[in-house]
Amino acid sequence: MLPRIEVPSPRPSLQGEGGLRPRRDNPLPRERVRAERAGEGLATGRDHRLLAIYIHWPFCRSKCPYCDFNSHVRESVDEARWRQAYLTELDNFAAETAGRLVVSVFFGGGTPSLMRPDTTAAILDHIAARWPLAADLEVTLEANPSTAEAARFRGFREAGVDRLSIGVQALDDDALRFLGRGHSVAEARAAVALAALIFPRFSFDLIWGWPGHEVAAWRRQLGEALAMAGEHLSAYQLTIEPGTAFWREGVPAAGEDTGVALYELTREVLAGAGLPAYEISSHARPGGECRHNVAVWRGADYLGIGPGAHGRLSRNGGTDATRGIRAPEKWLAKVEARGAGLAERVPLTPPERREELLLLGLRLAEGVRRDGFRALAGVEPEDAVDRAALARLAEGGFIESDAAGLRATPAGRLRLNAVLAQLLA
Ligand SMILES: C[S@@+](CC[C@H](N)C(=O)[O-])C[C@H]1O[C@@H](n2cnc3c(N)ncnc32)[C@H](O)[C@@H]1O
Ligand code: SF4
């Protein structure tokens, strides 16, 4: 039976994006940068000394009708308090992870470009003072393309951000209005051009598959996107998430045929232009992948700092899952009162860890790498799935397994939720 199309959400619940290219000039204090690269440890996800850090900024100017991220609109934010809370929460993990090499810092949200650049700088300086930094460290910040935020781009660069990820979403003003975005196509173009001037690396997000989105229009928009793209582009299928305004209004998701046509076109056009999909929705020139997300998808350890942020930390041969308190003000109050904002820290059982590694790894074009899976889960990938389902899915052309590992084909990645449901039945 053909698995139903049901794309996984744009970002796995373990937040985070990945890249293997050495960063160019690192603006963080030189003496704190260790002359050491993340190297093959990151490539396999097996070196537990490596550490990624995810910082969640939970505020947005307005709530987009499709978005179910932990993002909130507030009239004002006491940034000095928030800054101190992030520093305190980082300190909570500093002793336990002392000496581990930080390979990436990812400011996600929410809209972290609403943060003041001096807050970003304070957080990065704090990290640099507590952990050794990889020479090829990647520091990404997600940004909205409104003019007001673009005015801060230079400040973020000076703070140490070397990769900007911009929420363009659409190159069509009617689509932007439908998606509830507060910016125009002209502003988005200007923001991308400015990012290309200021940052060594940049990416932008597009959403496809809104009601009435036609293949011919998407082909044209992909061409326009490529004309302004750098080494990385994310193209997400619009998903109607429970609890969002689109869900309440009954906005329909793209039909199956349209979904397949738009997905195939995206893959074909972007791969033809030298940016193949290295993950369901992420496209990059070789070496331009987002280092942070690739590390997370390969099962590396990462700290989750901020409201609702997830983290993974290995100790004593097992892995703990951490999660911050979701409500921003409750998280802030808890950090201020108790010095920590975690809602929970639980050891994952071996089956849970195996399932998670499959769930994350199969998003990637390279799939679950045999060496990495063995090192992190202690068994072969095939031992962690239903063998009969695996044979059926391989026969149907949705899964491949060989000496390198286990991977979903492009058709399998389009239906990953359904494929996983069968594999993990
Ligand atoms: C945290 S946002 C990026 C930064 C910033 N908040 C913004 O929206 O510009 C992460 C990305 O996820 C994508 N996204 C969020 N919800 C989505 C949904 N329901 N369907 C498809 N893409 C979605 C959007 O492309 C968005 O840019
Ligand atoms: S898509 Fe981005 S700007 Fe819109 S509500 Fe979600 S996090 Fe905020």
- Model confidence pLDDT, tens digit, residues 93-112: 999 999 999 999 999 999 99
Name the pLDDT band for 47 (thresholds 50, 70, 90): low
Q: For ligand 1, atom 14, which residue shows the shortest CA distance?
A: 10
Residue 110 near ligand 2, beta carbon < 6 Å: yes
Rg (CA), the chain: 20
pLDDT tens digit string along 200-243?
999 999 999 999 999 999 999 999 999 999 999 999 999 999 99
Count CB neighbours of 362 within 10 A.
25
Alpha carbon nearest to ligand 2 atom 2, residue: 110
Closest listed ligand to the CA of 60: 2
Q: How many CA atoms lie within 13 A of 70 on its CB side?
A: 22
- 31 pLDDT more than 70: no
Is pLDDT of 1 > 70? Answer: no
Mean pLDDT of the chain: 90
Cα of 131 to ligand 1 centre, how many Å?
30
Report H helices in 181-286: 185-198, 215-228, 245-249, 256-272
Q: Give the residue-averaged pLDDT of 164-180.
A: 97
What H or E segment, with its residue span, contains residue 417?
helix 416-423
pTM value?
Answer: 0.91
Residue type, 376: L
Strand partners, 106: 54, 140
Q: Which of 177, 56, 164 is nearest to 111 (CA)?
A: 56
Q: Decide: helix, strand or coil at residue 46.
A: coil
What are the structural domains, with CATH classification, of the chain? Answer: 30-296 (3.80.30.20)
Q: How confident is the model at residue 28 (pLDDT cuts 50, 70, 90)?
A: very low
In percent, the amount of the chain with pLDDT more than 90 equals: 84
As a residue count, the chain comes to: 425
User: 11 falls in which pLDDT band (50, 70, 90)?
Assistant: low
Could you tell me the CA-to-CA distances from 196 to 146, 153, 203 in Å, in that order?
Answer: 16, 11, 9
Residue 34 confidence (pLDDT) above 90: no
CA 227, 198, 301, 404 dihedral sign is positive
- Which of the listed residues 64, 205, 213 should we mutate to test ligand 1's pocket, taking the one with most ligand atoms within 8 A of CB? 205
Q: Which of 348, 236, 226, 334 is nearest to 282 (CA)?
A: 236
Question: Phi and psi for 369 in degrees, rounded to 5?
Answer: -80, 135
pLDDT top residue among 329 and 2: 329
Examine residue 110 and say whether the peptide bond preceding it is cis (omega within 30 degrees of 0).
yes
- Report the pLDDT averaged over residues 145-152: 86
The identity of residue 398, as a single letter, is F
Q: What is the pLDDT of residue 3?
A: 53
Say what the pLDDT of residue 15 is. 36
Phi, psi angles (nearest 5°) of residue 181? -85, 145
- Secondary structure letter of residue 55 according to DSSP: E
Give the least confident one: 25-39, 67-81, 106-120, 341-355: 25-39
Q: Is the separation of the CB atoms in 14 and 312 below 8 Å? A: yes
Give the residue among 361, 359, 418, 370 at the shortest CA–CA distance from 393. 418
The CA-based dihedral angle spanning residues 55, 60, 63, 68, taken in that order and rounded to the nearest 10 degrees: 0
